[in-house]
A and B are shown apart, each in its own frame.
Chain A
Amino acid sequence: MTLGGAWGGLLDAFNGLVLAYFLVLNFVYLTLGLLAFAALKRYTLRMKTIDVEEMLSAAGVPPITVLAPAYNEEAGCVESVKSLLTLRYPDFQIFVINDGSKDRTLAKLVDAFEMTPVTRVPVAQVPCAEVRAVYRSRRHPNLFLLDKVNGGKADALNAGLNYCGTPLFCAIDADSLLERDALMRVVRPFLEDSTTVATGGIIRIANGCSVRSGSVTDVSLPRNLLARFQVLEYLRAFLTGRMGWHALDATLVISGAFGLFRHATVTAAGGFWKDTVGEDMELVVRLHRHCREHGIPYRISFVPDPVAWTECPETLKVLGRQRDRWQRGLAQVIWRHRVMLLNPRYGFIGMAAYPYFFFLEMLGPILELGGYLGFLAALLTGHWSPAYVAAFLALSVAFGMALSIGAVAMEELTFRRYTRKADVFRLFVLAVVESLGYRQVLGWWRVKGVFNQFRNSKAWGAMERKGFQAGVAR
């Protein structure tokens, strides 16, 4: 050792902490991966057993209202709504909520769908900004448009809740492209278990896919490298992470791009929280609290087969803004509901799922970044040998690689959306190289997000959209 004892000791202690974090995190990922694998295998078997169409062809399917908030969506709003109108489900309505758009979103929708003002009386009183008017389409009686004063996505969803007269509602993003049978598939947990209050579907990356008439007709990897990394990341996040937590009956996150909820339970819990950029996760966590605190039997689940396609960022700038926002949202939610942390009142959620998100997802990136710096410091000061640091970094890369390849394997075992051998092979290559820069950049943005949260930044950032491509299949 070439450093003074105190400095060396401190470095050792810090790096030891980083090592412990690394081991715990990857142990959790590995465990979730194994649980997810078993759960996915059973789920695909179950899908072959229960015919969803047959289940829904009978009477008694619960009506659903699709809530689609829209802000400055003139470029794609008409196509998005046309796509929603083609959803295959026996009984559903669509509420597009124009959240005070400054562009021609309202005018375009009114013109395209022959919408006329109607009187609608709210069925709930969740606080939200003023709803100026409600329109209904003459051509499509199940299509409504709420025009309201701007209040943000959560506020728009709350406005939708107030006019939603169906027992279930499906919250989506304006740019989500739901597959035609998505509602049929995502409603299944509500049929199989009457205590179900929320279910999330899977979000897949539409970049690089061909879209015709509101449907993804050909699935392939995008050409953009950043988008490709995100495809892999989403596979890992949903097929491993979400499925793993679902297997433990501890689903804490349902994506805001596609979730199905029980209207009565959500309104009783107070609707969506407006003062957060993570309103999707916040609602799910609050539903857990609401049901447990009121002794209501409930289930919140994840189903991996109903799909919503979405565009992902293709530039570092936009991706960075998105990840900053996601981390801020996570930090807001986790901090807000910290009463659940290690609280036996909240069962497994409080004792395991919540600590995972608190320590490993919220604070973990700080430790991870600190770890890189600590290792660098140890290396530069000769405190640790290059061989040791290299070994540790190799272990870190190997862990990441194994988890990502595992996610690709699970995709191949189950849904197999990427049918071209070349795409599968590319996913493997991405799994190898993703730990050599991409993950580290993500970690940096996540650290920024945590610090921005505690600096009270409220920015959403703009997403640059190209729109779904009506391309020709390769």
Chain B
Amino acid sequence: MNDAFFLAVAAATAGLLALALLLFASTLWLHRRTDAKAARSRRLSGLWEQFLLDHLAGEGMAEALWSRVGPGDELDFLHYLWTYHRTLSGEEKVRVESLAAPYLDRLAPRLASRLPEIRARAVITLAALGLDRYERQVLAALDDPSDLVAVQAAGALARSGRAGHLPAILSHFDRYAGWSSGFLVSLLASMGAAALPALRALFADASRSGTERAFAGLALMELSDAEAAQTAAGICASERDPALLEAALAVLGRVGGPEHLDAARPHRLSANPRVRRQALQVIGHLGGEDVWAELRESLEDGSALVRAEAGRSLMKAGATEALEELARSRDRKGDLARQSLEDGT
């Protein structure tokens, strides 16, 4: 082994030791900095809390709180207000927004940050504390190159409860399509009653994709919108998209009436197990003794989840005696029947 190799090894060792030393020093510095930041945060919270609470109670002036926001503390103050804002409602929420108003301009430049996480954080805060002033920017965030920012903008707009934002949210649907369906449905449903007309229109619009209509339907189900039942029944009669059918059946299961039972029944034999399961749920919810026979047939379904649903639906349809008779048998149907009876009591 020659000297050059030895020198290379020695140099690499020295380099790594230097790196280790640098990391060591950085860590100690980070430790101190984090401690200092936490102490500062505690100090500021302590400084602002009583004045904020007084103001929310109508006993303190906003100026008393503002005078305690020093230069360099503005963004911390906005974050502090945002954490309170989330937990408040009504008049108190409005008061917090008015406290934040003078400082929002300090946050706005972060909408142009190169980091999507910073942009997303700015969108959430501005939408919560100053949507009237920054509505245009929050809507523009739906077109942000980052899906994270677009989703956060959609969520923030949905939470504002302003129905006028729904078309914009829905027109960017492809940006959130990768997120879980449950999350997206709750995002739409969080708009509340103000969104019902737009959601109903989307649910009924045959020119839109099955996925979009399904999400609209599930949001209507979450909002327990009785008017959606008729549209759902129409979808059950005419559509083939499994996701849309599943959503329509879910709507009927929540808000449907006995007149919608026949719309659900054929789907008990669908090729898609999720559709079959949902259909059974509706049949059990809406039917009586007239559906027991078909529900019993479904106890033999090829899918375990469908079989379990058949048992539950028999309970819901009032077939207790029939289940008790089945429960006396020692086969799989007997176990299902016993499980349904136990769960139902």
B182 touches A60 (CB 8 A): yes
Nearest-Cβ distance from residue A220 to partner chain B, whole angstroms: 15
Segment from A72-80, A198-206, A365-373, A388-396 that makes contact with B: A388-396
B138: Cβ under 8 A from any A Cβ: no
Chain A residues lying within 8 Å of B118, measured Cβ to Cβ, are 45
**Interface-lining segment among A118-126, A148-156, A225-233, A243-251:** A118-126
Interface code A400-418, partner B: CB below 8 Å = 1, 0 otherwise?
A: 0110011011001100100
Does A62 make an interface contact (CB < 8 A)?
Answer: yes
Chain B residues, Cβ within 8 Å of A55? 183
Residue of B nearest to A193 (CB): B178
Asked whether B57 is an interface residue with its Cβ less than 8 Å from the other chain, the reply is no
A42 within 8 A of B: yes
CA of A62 to CA of B185, assembled, Å: 12
Which A residues touch B86, using CB under 8 A?
A: 51, 54
| A62 and B182 contact, Cβ closer than 8 Å, known pairs A118-B342, A388-B1, A416-B34 | yes
Would you call B23 and A405 a contact (CB within 8 A)?
yes
The dominant DSSP class at the B interface is: helix
A391-B10, A392-B9 given as contacts; is B124 within 8 A of A49 (CB)? yes
Q: Do A122 and B23 contact each other (CB < 8 Å), given the known contacts A387-B6, A391-B10, A395-B12? A: no
A424 CB → nearest B CB, Å: 6
Q: Is B121 an interface residue when CB atoms closer than 8 A count as contact? A: yes
Which residues in window 397-447 of A have CB below 8 A to B?
398-399, 401-402, 405-406, 408-409, 412-413, 416, 421, 424, 428, 431
What is the distance, in angstroms, from A163's C-beta to the closest C-beta of chain B?
10
Contact in complex: A391, B9 (CB < 8 Å): yes
Stretch at the interface among B89-97, B290-298, B332-340: B332-340
Chain A residue at smallest Cβ distance from B184: A60
Interface flag for B186 (CB, 8 Å): yes
A195 at the interface (CB under 8 A from B): yes
B69-88 vs A: 1/0 string, CB under 8 Å? 00000000000000000100
- Chain A residue with the shortest CB-CB distance to B149: A49
**B324-344 CB contact bits vs A (8 Å, 1 = yes)?**
000000001001101100100
| A61 part of interface (Cβ distance < 8 Å) | yes
Q: Point out the residues of chain A lying under 8 angstroms from B30, CB to CB.
A: 409, 412-413
The secondary structure that dominates the A interface is: helix
A384 located at the interface, meaning its Cβ lies under 8 Å from any Cβ of chain B in the complex: yes
In the bound assembly, the distance between CA atoms of A406 and B311 in angstroms comes to 57
Query: What is the CA–CA distance of A416 and B38 in the complex, to the nearest angstrom?
Result: 12
- Complexed CA–CA distance, A364 and B183 (Å): 44
Query: Is there a chain A Cβ closer than 8 Å to B201's Cβ?
Result: no
Q: Counting CB contacts under 8 A, is A462 at the interface?
A: no
* Interface contact B186-A59, CB-CB below 8 Å: yes
Q: How far is the CA of A405 from the CA of B23 in the complex (A)?
A: 6
A194 at the interface (CB under 8 A from B): yes
**List of A residues within 8 angstroms of B178 by Cβ:** 192-195
B168 at the interface (CB under 8 A from A): no
Smallest CB–CB gap between B59 and chain A, Å? 30
> Complex: how many Å from CA A408 to CA B31?
11
A49:B16 contact, CB within 8 angstroms: no
When C-beta atoms are compared, the residue in chain B nearest to A192 turns out to be: B179
Stretch in B40-48, B236-244, B301-309 with 4+ CB within 8 Å of A: B301-309
User: How far is A392 from B118 in the complex, measured between Cα atoms in Å?
Assistant: 45
Q: Does A190 contact B (CB under 8 A)?
A: yes
Contact with A along B19-30 (1 / 0, CB 8 A): 110011011101
Q: Report the bound CA distance from A249 to B117 in whole Å.
A: 20
Task: Write the chain B residue with the least CB distance to A58.
Answer: B186
Cβ of B281 within 8 Å of any chain A Cβ, yes or no, is: no
Please report the C-alpha to C-alpha distance between residue A471 and residue B27 in the assembled complex, in whole angstroms: 28
Query: Which residues 96-135 in A have Cβ within 8 Å of B in the complex?
Result: 118-124
Given contacts A165-B305, A192-B179, A384-B1, contact A118 B339 (CB under 8 A): yes
Q: Is the CB of B222 within 8 A of A119?
A: no
Q: Is A194 touching B181 in the complex (CB atoms < 8 A)?
A: yes
Write out, one digit per residue, whether chain A residues 169-198 have a CB within 8 A of any chain B CB (1) or not (0): 000000000000000000000111111000
A46 at the B interface (CB under 8 A): yes
Distance in Å: Cβ of B217 to nearest Cβ of chain A: 13
In the complex, which residue of chain B has the Cβ closest to the Cβ of A299?
B178
A455 within 8 Å of B (CB atoms): no
Task: Please state if B308 and A409 are interface contacts (CB–CB under 8 Å).
Answer: no
The B-contacting residues of A in range 340-396, CB under 8 angstroms, are 384-385, 387-388, 391-392, 394-395
A46 and B117 form a contact (CB under 8 A): yes
Is A428 in contact with B24, judged by CB distance below 8 angstroms?
yes
- Given A394-B13, A402-B19, A405-B20, check contact A424 B180 (CB 8 Å): no
Instruction: Given the known inter-chain contacts A388-B1, A391-B6, A412-B31, please indicate yes or no for A120 contacting B339, CB distance below 8 A.
Output: yes
> Across the interface, do B180 and A123 meet the contact criterion of CB distance under 8 Å?
no
Are the C-beta atoms of B117 and A42 separated by less than 8 Å?
A: yes
B112 located at the interface, meaning its Cβ lies under 8 Å from any Cβ of chain A in the complex: no
| Interface contact B305-A123, CB-CB below 8 Å | yes
Residues of A within 8 A of B336 (CB): 121
B residues within 8 A CB of A59? 182, 185-186, 189, 222
Q: How far is the CA of A305 from the CA of B222 in the complex (A)?
A: 31
Q: Is A62 within 8 A of B189, CB to CB?
A: no
Give which listed residue, A45, A401, A408, contacts B117 with CB less than 8 A.
Answer: A45
- A124-B342 contact, Cβ under 8 Å, with A60-B181, A412-B34, A424-B31: no
CA distance A290 to B17 in the complex (A): 44
Contact pattern, A 36-74, Cβ under 8 Å of B = 1, otherwise 0: 000000100110111100110011111000000000000
Q: Assess the A165–B308 pair: CB atoms within 8 A.
A: yes
Most buried by A among B19, B181, B183: B183
Query: CB distance A62 to B17 under 8 Å?
Result: no
Q: Is B115 an interface residue (CB 8 A)?
A: yes
Closest to B189 in A: A59
Considering the complex, which residues of chain B in the window 190-239 have a beta carbon less than 8 Å from any beta carbon of chain A?
190, 222
- Verify B20–A402 contact, CB threshold 8 A: yes
B152 at the interface (CB under 8 A from A): yes
Measured CB to CB, the nearest residue on chain B to A136 is: B342
Q: How far is the CA of A428 from the CA of B10 in the complex (A)?
A: 23
Q: Which residues of A contact B (CB under 8 A)?
A: 42, 45-46, 48-51, 54-55, 58-62, 118-124, 165, 190-195, 384-385, 387-388, 391-392, 394-395, 398-399, 401-402, 405-406, 408-409, 412-413, 416, 421, 424, 428, 431
- Some 14 contacts from A to B, beta carbons below 8 A apart, are A50-B120, A60-B183, A121-B307, A121-B332, A190-B180, A193-B179, A193-B180, A194-B179, A384-B1, A395-B9, A395-B16, A398-B16, A402-B17, A409-B27
| Given A58-B183, A118-B342, 20 extra CB contacts under 8 A | A42-B115, A45-B115, A46-B148, A49-B117, A49-B124, A49-B152, A58-B189, A59-B186, A118-B339, A119-B335, A121-B307, A121-B339, A123-B308, A124-B304, A190-B180, A192-B180, A194-B179, A402-B20, A409-B30, A412-B27
Nearest 10 Cβ contacts at the A-B interface = A60-B182, A58-B186, A398-B16, A45-B117, A119-B338, A60-B186, A123-B304, A409-B27, A395-B13, A402-B20
